[in-house]
Structure 1
Amino acid sequence: MSEDPLVYLPVGRWGELKAVFKSDWPRSISGFTTLENIEYILKQGIDYGFKVYCPYGEPSNGMVAFNLKKTFYEIIIQSPNDDTSKLEDALKTSKLIDWSRQIAVPFAPKHVMDCVRRVNFEKNMKTVFTRTETFILHKETPLFKDLSLPDGFTFKQLTLEYLDLVDSTWPHRYDGSRWYFDLLTRANLGFGLFKQNDLIAWVFIKEMGALGHLYTLENHRQKGYGELVLKLISNILLEQKRYVVAFCVEGNKSAYKLYKKLGFERTDEIEWCELTPL
């Protein structure tokens, strides 16, 4: 029996993969930050089954990572090389991917998504693509200054008691999303702005290392709390000498303006893809 073209890469070898992603900077930044943040989650004693594979066992061929979140079947596909022929062949012939399920492929650069399109054509899947832009603060960026909180306000890590509120207000809630927020909270990746001990705004560092789920309760909007939370969470990452990464869906002008205002660098356009069996 022939071996599968997708070869498991143990955590101890992730450094090799991060090195090749760093050589393709900033296009492969999301591959790098994903591995960096999953390493952090593992150090918190949380292993939810994230698995990394390389086409034919070679990190230079890219990464195919299974990021299963309860009922959400996500496969992260990244490549540091323009030549994606080995990646494409591995995706087409691997027995590890369940093409009978709905599959999400997040934050793929153009050359990777072109590869996915060719694979998808052969697998006869219905596809929905969403274009997004990547914004980055370099890890050496100076901290934001003058961030004194108003009287009665605190900014701190979220606890599990706020899961229902966070999940119920998320516009993209799905069966299993509460489990997802539970995971991020247990990994100390959720942060909230509190007014007199009431949670009014929050943000998460998602498992791929990017900021996400920035939200302010409706009756507290138009007061600058979103910008304040973004600055505060950015400072936490910058103090750790980590890159601050955020995604902005094409056409979201308010988010675009906020990232530019705060000095984020706009880099490559990427795509998110949802594949559904016909």
Structure 2
Amino acid sequence: MKILNKEELQIAEGVLLKHFPGSLKVYGFIYGINRKKPSTLEIVVDAWPDFKVIICRPDPKNKHALDFMKRVTYYSMDEQILRKMLTEENAVDWSTSFLIGGFDASHATMLKEVSSDRRVNNEVYTMVHLLYLPDSSHLPTPAADSDLESRISSLSLSHIDLVNQTWKFGGNKQGYMNIKNLISHFPSCCITDGQGQPVSWILVYDYCALCLLYTLPGHRGRGYAKVLISTMARRLHTDGYPVYCFIEEENMVSYKLFKNLGFVEDPSYRAAWFEFNF
């Protein structure tokens, strides 16, 4: 097992680019790290340069790691090598609470077996669709008059509380810290009212997935979500970001919205989130 350095992370990014959509979340983390976005992760592989498994895990040397939930993400081309890394090589710290997010759901049985052998509690947190946009040129252009276009801008740090209060996983100090990090270092887009306050917005996670799409109840039904997704997707494509999102299986409204805007899905692939030691 090897921890990748800066030069090796550049090479790994290029390799993962060839394995979409399964590699998208790991690719997104490394994309950000390679562009000097703040991160509390270290990246390990089973071998170099011909790796079969790549894992993003909390960096024990990073003093800010405790400010965020302990998250693990991986991409694997060989389940047996992955199992070995998780069991014999201790690629993750099984003594702590952590979340493995966005992994190939076909590995669920193996993860349950490994955690059970270690007497670690596990819970399937959620199953999701992974939708991505191969080409922004096919994005439909939502009708937006000059007044609406003049009200499209980016979120600022003064909007953290508003976003945190409306986020499904927010409303607390950790949510505040997460949103502050995203607004400070990653693209965001919002539509404001006549007083310049956001009424609809979308952000980008630190693994580059679109997230936190929300419109205040009194401003819904005006097509704001379509305008924000299209605006953000074009901006991300122009800047070289991957354009993708995770949609929970029960959220059919968002699923249909993104599909209608040209996002596609590999029908054979599902992603999942597991919690351990919670």
Same fold (TM over 0.5): yes
Give the whole-Å Cα distance in 2 for the aligned partners of 1:114 and 1:17: 27
Please, what TM-score do these two structures have when normalized by structure 2? 0.86
Aligned-pair distance for 1:18?
A: 2.5
Give the whole-Å Cα distance in 1 for the aligned partners of 2:240 and 2:90: 39
Q: For the Cα contact (< 8 Å) 1:8–1:57, is it kept in 2?
A: no
Q: After superposition, give the CA deviation of every residue in 1:131-178 in whole Å (9 maximum; x if it has no partner).
A: 101111114544543553451642222111111111111121144111
Q: For the Cα contact (< 8 Å) 2:138–2:262, is it kept in 1?
A: no
Which of 2, 14, 22 pairs up with 2:9? 14
Q: What is the aligned-residue identity percentage?
A: 19
Which residue is 1:274 aligned to? 275
Which residue is 2:262 aligned to? 263
Question: Does 1:138 find its partner at 2:134?
Answer: yes
Which of 41, 44, 60 pairs up with 2:51? 60
Deviates more, 1:88-97 or 1:175-184: 88-97
Gaps of 5+ in 1: none
Aligned-pair distance for 1:57?
A: 4.9
Which residue is 2:214 aligned to? 215
Letter in 1 for 2:214: Y
Instruction: Call closer, same or farther: CA 1:38–1:115 in 2, change over 3 Å.
Output: farther
Which residue is 1:72 aligned to? 69
Structure-to-structure mapping, 1:16-95, within 5 angstroms: 16-40=11-35, 42=36, 46-57=37-48, 60-67=51-58, 68=65, 70-79=67-76, 81=77, 83-95=78-90
Which residue is 2:118 aligned to? 123
Deviates more, 1:139-148 or 1:56-65: 139-148
Which residue is 2:197 aligned to? 198
Aligned-pair distance for 1:56?
A: 4.5
Q: For the Cα contact (< 8 Å) 2:215–2:224, is it kept in 1?
A: yes
Which of 77, 98, 108 pairs up with 2:93? 98
- Aligned-residue CA RMSD (Å): 2.3
Give the whole-Å Cα distance in 1 for the aligned partners of 2:169 and 2:242: 26
Aligned-pair distance for 1:184?
A: 0.9
Gaps of 5+ in 2: 59-64
Provide the secondary structure at the position in 1 that maps to 2:121. Answer: strand
Provide the secondary structure at the position in 2 that maps to 1:90. Answer: helix
Question: Does 1:183 find its partner at 2:181?
Answer: yes
Aligned-pair distance for 1:26?
A: 2.6
Deviates more, 1:187-196 or 1:91-100: 91-100
Q: For the Cα contact (< 8 Å) 2:186–2:206, is it kept in 1?
A: no
Deviates more, 1:113-122 or 1:162-171: 113-122
Aligned-pair distance for 1:104?
A: 0.6
Instruction: Call closer, same or farther: CA 1:95–1:109 in 2, change over 3 Å.
Output: closer
Which residue is 1:172 aligned to? 169
Structure 1 outlier segments of 4+, above 6 Å: none
Give the whole-Å Cα distance in 2 for the aligned partners of 1:186 and 1:23: 30
Letter in 2 for 1:224: G
Q: Which is strand-richer, 1 or 2? A: 1
Give the whole-Å Cα distance in 2 for the aligned partners of 1:69 and 1:265: 36
Provide the secondary structure at the position in 2 that maps to 1:125. Answer: coil
Letter in 2 for 1:65: C
Deviates more, 1:130-139 or 1:170-179: 170-179
